[in-house]
Amino acid sequence: MATKISASKFSKTQLCNKHDTYAAADDDASSQDNQRRKLLSIAPIYTLPFLLGGENTASAAVPASTAQQTNVALSPAASALCADSEEEARISIFERVAPSVVYIDTFKQKQDVFSTDIMEIPIGSGSGFIWDNEGHIVTNFHVIQQAKSAQIAILTPNNGIKSSSSAAIEPAYTSVRPGALGSNGSTTFKDFTRTVYKARVVGVDPTKDIAVLKVDNEDNSPIKQLRPIQLGTSTGLRVGQGSLAIGNPFGLDHTLTTGVISGIGREVKSPSGRPISNVIQTDAAINPGNSGGPLLDSKGRVIGMATAIYSPSGASAGIGFAVPVDTVKYIVTQLIENGQIVRPLLGVNILDSKQSRQTLGITKGVLILEVKPGTPAAAAGLKGIRRTESGIIEIGDIIIAVDGTSIEKEGDLFKAIEDYKPGDTVKVTVNRPQIEVTESGEPEIKLKEISFSVKLIASDDSTFIQK
C-alpha cells in the first residue's frame, strides 16, 4: 500500500533528497509461513516526505512491524519537481563556474616563404581554469607542449563593456566557433565580455601533464575581476558520484557535459612516459579541446583536471580521465613558487620494459642501460650495459626491487621512488647476470641477486628512458 505523508513542512530540496522506497518487515502473527519469511526491516528514523495526487495527508513513520511492504514513492508532480531541482542545480553550477574556465589557442612560429618575417601559425586549442586572483591559469602540459606562444580568452564581468586592461589584445586568429560566450550576439553571459590576453609560461610538469600559465597587465599588475575556480578534494571520491566537465571541445567554448565517476585509482601515461597514478575515470563526455578543463563534483568544486580519453575513434567513447585535484594542488603550488618540480632519481638510464622483453627476454624488472658518471648510483656499484675488450656485450643490472617494493616495469620504478626526496637513501635490489661454468665445462649465464644502498639525486623531470 502507499502511505500519504504531508510535504507542507518540507522544502523542495528536502523532498527530493529524502525520498526512497523502504521495505517494512511482515510481522503477521496469524501465519507461521509469513513468520518464517519475515524480512529484515530497514525502518527510517524519520518520516519521509512525498506528494501523491496533490493530497496533503499526515501519517506516522512506517513501523517495522507493518504487515506488508510499504512503498514510499513520489507522485508524477513531485518527480517533475525534483527533476526541475536537479536541472536548476546544474544550471547554477554552470553559470557560477563557466567564467572561471578559459579558452586557450596555441601557436608555433614559422618564417614566411617570401620574406624574412616570422609568422605565428595556429597549432591547437584547449581548456584551462583560473587558479587565483594573480592571473595564474592551470592547464595540461600537452596543450602547450609544441607551442611557442599562447593566447587565453577569459570571461570578465564588464556589463557588456570592453575590458580596459592594458594587456588585452585583438587576436588575429581564434579557433573558437561563432556564438562564443561573452561575444556579440551571445545571450548567455550577456553581461560578460570575452577578452583575449597573451600568456606566458610559469612552469610545467610533464610527468603529471600539468602546466601553469599567467596573464598580466603590461605593468605586471594583476588583471581585475578574474574569477578563480573553487577547489574541492579528490580524497574520498566514490564510484557513482555525479561529475560535470566544462571545456572547449572542437572549438565549442564553455561546453557542459555530465556523468558519474566511473572509476578511481586508474593509471595513464604522461607526456614524459611516466605513469600518472590515482587518475579519476568519468563517463562525462571529454573530447579533443576539453584537455585542461575542470572536472567538477555535484557542488561545482574541482575534483580533477581532464587530461585524456580512451577512444578508438579519437572522440568521446564514455571513458575519460582526469588528474586528481589533490595532485594538481601540490604541483601547481610548487610551480608557482619555484617554477619547476624537483623529483628524486636514481641517476641511471633504463630500457623500456616492452623493448627489453621483446629483444632480450627479460620478463621481470628494469634493465639499466647506463649509470650516470659521478652519481651516487655509480659510487654504489650499479652497472649498465657495456662492451668488453673482446667485443662481447654484457647485460647490465636488472632492477627488481626498491626498498622491498617489487619492480616489474619502468612505471613501477617511477612510482617506487616518487614518495622520496632527493638526498634520501633507498635499497635497490638487482639481478646481475654472471657467467658460470657448468660441470660439463660449458659457460652458463645465471642471475645473482645483489642489493645496494643508493642516494637519490635531484632532477628537473628529465625522462631517462631509451625508446
Active site residues: 142, 209, 291
Residue 289 and residue 125 in contact, taking contact as beta carbons nearer than 8 Å? yes
| Grid cell for residue 55 | 493530497
Give the residues across from 129 on adjacent strands. Answer: 101, 138
Among 403, 404, 392, which residue's Cα sits nearest to residue 433? 392
Sequence-ordered alpha helix ranges (H) in 32-75: 32-36
What does the radius of gyration of the chain's CA atoms come to, in whole angstroms?
30
Residue 463 and residue 273 in contact, taking contact as beta carbons nearer than 8 Å? yes
| Grid cell for residue 425 | 637513501
| Contact partners, residue 389, CB within 8 Å, separation at least 6 | none
Among 113, 26, 35, which residue's Cα sits nearest to residue 62? 26
**3-class DSSP state of 390:** coil
Residue 331 and residue 206 in contact, taking contact as beta carbons nearer than 8 Å? no
Number of H helices, E strands in the chain: 8, 24
Residue 243 and residue 297 in contact, taking contact as beta carbons nearer than 8 Å? yes
Q: How many residues does the chain have?
A: 467
User: CA-to-CA distance for 409 and 289, rounded, in angstroms?
Assistant: 32
| Contact partners, residue 441, CB within 8 Å, separation at least 6 | none
Among 377, 356, 374, 375, which residue's Cα sits nearest to residue 365? 356
CA distances from 204 to 46, 167, 201, 273, 414 (A): 53, 23, 8, 15, 18
SS (H, E, C) 157-182: CCCCCCCCCCCEECCCCCCCCCCCCC
